[in-house]
Amino acid sequence: MKARDFKNRIYTELSAIAKALANPHRLEIIDLLAQGPSSVEYIAKNTGMTIANASQHLQTLKSARLVKAERRGKYSFYSLQSTDVFKLWKTMRELGFAQNAQIGKLLRDFRKSRHNLESVDSDKLLDRIEKGEALLLDVRPREEYEAGHIASAVSIPKNELLERLKSLPKNKEIIAYCRGPLCAMADDAIKILHEHGYTASRLEAGFPEWDTEGKPVD
């Protein structure tokens, strides 16, 4: 094989990965699958897509070897091909935050519209948890918590928070987290906590970021 033919074939294969990622719905699917394996129905419900549309996007990601499927009874469950897929998405996201001023402005404006919610650095959080100064609250759906969560985190899905508020201590700061920096569930949870007299902040990172950084998970 000539060097030019070799390069053309390699770059063509790599461009197929880039092409598969060049769609906002598929990026959101990767962000969701980083939480754990999911059925097409679950993905459709949590991304606002139809089942048929979600299935088409999953097939594109599968063809690019970014996701894989496993049959469980009547349903197919999809998961990321490896943690490298999440690392690629995380790098893309961080590059966008750093290079695209519009992305940063959108994020700041969104947070500002939700009462300037404060976020907590993950390294400082570990120290505060160890000292008993903070309680970590996972507000994702229970299926995602059970697939994997930050060590010591308490699970109260956002839609159950109001009815379970009394189980949370008021003498500790509540640190809520969800799927990562683009997820709004933690913001909504903190708003509820503030309205009921709790001291609360959000963890910017989600479970996948925490896991890939080698921090303690269950």
Please list the active-site residues: 178
Query: CB–CB of 138/145 below 8 Å?
Result: yes
Neighbours of 101 (CB within 10 A): 9
Q: Is 30 exposed, middle or buried (0-12, 13-18, 19+ CB in 10 A)?
A: buried
Q: What is the rounded CA–CA span in Å between residue 218 and residue 201? A: 22
Query: CB–CB of 114/180 below 8 Å?
Result: no
Q: What is the rounded CA–CA span in Å between residue 11 and residue 66? A: 17
- Among 81, 76, 96, which Cα is nearest to 22's? 96
Residue type, 145: Y
